Structure 1
């Protein structure tokens, strides 16, 4: 079973990635296509947002794509509120129930 702190950390990363996409006004598919065309990096951003598990290389590429320093990315991650994390978890649970 996953540790609660680790789960909150992973959700915070997901929420920061979503925030960065919204600020840039791009979809997951847009990011995937842009990264492939510009860097040759074939990656599924949606999978990262669902699984919340990616490498340091992926983090570096995302930071470069969104024009944010890794330290600032992690500051944003650290700043995600417990309320936003809980809201995300509730939404995910509701989606899972609908799919079942």
Structure 2
């Protein structure tokens, strides 16, 4: 199987957790309750946004594409959820990223 076809949950798992285990949702009502807890920080473009949310009891920074279905904006598969540790590493390297962008512009 190619890497593209595999479902990877590495962004969510710590070393002591099994990465492919996800809790099952009991109903659609639970999904809407989770969405209500999202804090949309900014919209990067028409269909992309950055939000902070609680996922499995952890706070994550979610950078994700959205799509419209039946008049509702829903989160797509394309995106990344960063744990607080990952977010802090990214923040520490913002100046280096900016410098690399400037050099390649």
CA radius of gyration, larger in: 2
- TM-score range for the pair, normalised by the shorter chain length: under 0.3
Higher normalized strand content (fraction of residues): 2
Quick one: higher RCO (CA 8 Å, sep 6+), 1 or 2?
1
Structure-1-length-normalised TM-score = 0.27
Higher normalized helix content (fraction of residues): 1
